[in-house]
Structure 1
Amino acid sequence: MAEIVYLRLKKSIELSVMQQVQLKDIAYISTSSPKKRKLEYTPIYRITKKDKNIVIIDSFIIIDHLNNVYDDLEFQLIGPTQTIIRINKSKKSPSIVLVSCVWLLLFIGAAMTIMNFHYDVSMQEVQQRLHYLLTGENNDYPLWIQIPYSFGLGIGMLLFFNHWFNKRFNEEPSPLEVEIYNYQQDLDNYVNHHENKLNDTKPPT
């Protein structure tokens, strides 16, 4: 009776150019067979210069190749049916000048957004009215309200995004991270549907 090998493909991985893809790179393997270590190092695909940024390996190709190599094993797939390989090409260190320009642009854009929002909702008039209700006096610049409000606005944004540079305040993902995750999921689904380039690719023998 053939021994059963369970495979669960990884949804996406990152590898380097001109690298041979082995089974352990793209799948988790569970089996009691003594051939497990040999299975892990079974070559599945080799990344070459003709590959661009993304390569998709379909589970059917993997199972078909493994059945040809290991005729005494039975393979059962669990989970995702495709693995997306993102090819990391050598990247230069980002320019400090470019990073500074982008940071300055984002800072000015965020500041203008906040100021325009406050102008639209008449925040200054609201604070003046609040000052009058609490003190009975008119004041065009109620700093005792405006200064704490400004600090609170910044602190609230830090807590909302749950980050201070590389430090995370708690384990809960921020809304920005959730949106990035959803975007990545949609991107992966699109690539799986429209850019499966390995239909005609045969694994190495």
Structure 2
Amino acid sequence: MATPVYIRMRQSIRVSTNHVVRVKDVAKVAGSSSYKQILENMAIYNIEEKDKNIVVIDVHPLIELILQRFPHIELEILGPNQCVVHVDKKQAKNPSLILISAIWVLLFIGAAMTIMNFHYDVSMEAVQQKLHFMLTGEKKEHPLWIQVPYSIGLGLGMILFFNHWFHKKFNEEPNPMEVEVFKYQEDLDHYVAINENKVEQDEDH
């Protein structure tokens, strides 16, 4: 009777140059313990300098490699059919303090201009003046007792919305920026996997 082995391909991984990609890097293996360790350590691909920053590992060469060594194994493939390997060619360097400061100032000015233009479009100053008149019966050009708490609350609301205070998170939920980055990376990996299959089909023809 054939021994069942279950393989679930990972969506994507990150490796360095000259890294030997093994089964355990691109997939999770479940099955008999006598085969699991051997299968996990089987080499699939060697990342070289000539490789670009993205390499797609397809499940079909993986199946052929395993069946050549263990033809009696019954393979069950779960999940995606490709694993996108991101190759980190350059070592991470400490970012420049000047560059970080310049980006921070640019983002700060851009965010401030966005908030001010929004408040101008919705006539927030006039709304606050009218609110002051409704509550006190007096007309005042700058009702600071409304404007100052509103400004502080706006900043605190942004901090709570993005769930971050420098490196500290208030809870384990991902913030909207992390979700958008995750969705972008997922779409990018999906596109690369599909495009790789199209290239292989064109080469076959």
Q: CA RMSD in A?
A: 1.7
Are residues 47 and 199 of structure 1, via their aligned partners in 2, closer, same or farther at CA, if it must alter by over 3 Å? farther
Q: Which residue of 1 aligns with 2:11?
A: 11
Whole-angstrom distance in 1 between the partners of 2:111 and 2:66: 54
Partner of 2:176: 175
Residue 75 of structure 1: aligned partner: 75
Please state how far the C-alpha of 1:197 moved relative to its aligned partner. Answer: 9.3
Number of aligned residue pairs: 200
What is the CA distance between 1:176 and its match in structure 2? 2.1
- Equivalent residues of 1:55, 1:197 under 8 A apart: no
1:177 Cα offset (Å): 2.2
Alignment of 1:9-88 (within 5 A): 9-88=9-88
Q: For residues 91-140 of structure 1, what are the alpha-carbon distances to aligned partners after superposition, in whole Å with 9 as ceiling and x for unaligned? A: 32211111110111000000011111111111111111111111111111
**Displacement, 1:179?**
1.8
SS for the counterpart of 1:128 is: helix
Give 5+ residue unaligned stretches, structure 2: none
Go from structure 1 to structure 2 and tell me whether the alpha carbon gap of 1:167 and 1:153 turns closer, same or farther (over 3 Å shift).
same
Q: Give the aligned partner of residue 203 of structure 1.
A: none
The ranges of structure 1 where at least 4 consecutive aligned residues each deviate by more than 6 angstroms after the TM superposition are: none
CA drift of 1:199 comes to: 4.6
Which amino acid in the other structure matches residue 31 of structure 2?
T
Question: What percent of counterpart residues are identical?
Answer: 54
Q: Deviations 1:42-85 (Å, cap 9, x if unpaired)?
A: 00110001111110000011001111122232222111111011
Question: How many Å apart are 1:152 and its aligned residue?
Answer: 0.5
**Alpha-carbon deviation of 1:186?**
1.4
With over 3 angstroms needed to count, the CA separation of the structure-2 counterparts of 1:42 and 1:198, relative to structure 1, is: farther
More helix by share: 2
SS at match of 1:35: helix
Q: Does 1:99 align with 2:105?
A: no
Aligned 8 A contact 1:7 1:76 in 2: yes
Q: Is the 8 A contact 1:15 1:86 kept in 2?
A: yes
The residue number in structure 2 matching 1:109 is 110
- After TM superposition, the structure 1 = structure 2 runs for residues 108-147 of structure 1, keeping only pairs within 5 Å, are 108-147=109-148
Secondary structure class of the residue paired with 2:34: coil
1:179-198 alignment, distance < 5 Å: 179-196=180-197
- Please give the alpha-carbon distance, in whole angstroms, between the structure 1 residues aligned to 2:169 and 2:92: 27
Contact 1:56 1:198 in 2 (8 A): no
Q: How many angstroms does 1:33 deviate by? A: 4.5
Indicate conservation of the 8 Å contact 1:22/1:42, yes or no. yes
Q: Classify 1:2/1:13 alpha carbon distance in 2 versus 1 (closer, same or farther; 3 Å).
A: same
Q: CA deviation at 1:195?
A: 3.3
Distance 1:189 1:38 in 2: 29
Letter in 1 for 2:70: Y
Contact 1:56 1:196 in 2 (8 A): no
Distance 1:197 1:85, change over 3 A: farther
Matching residue's letter, 1:9: M
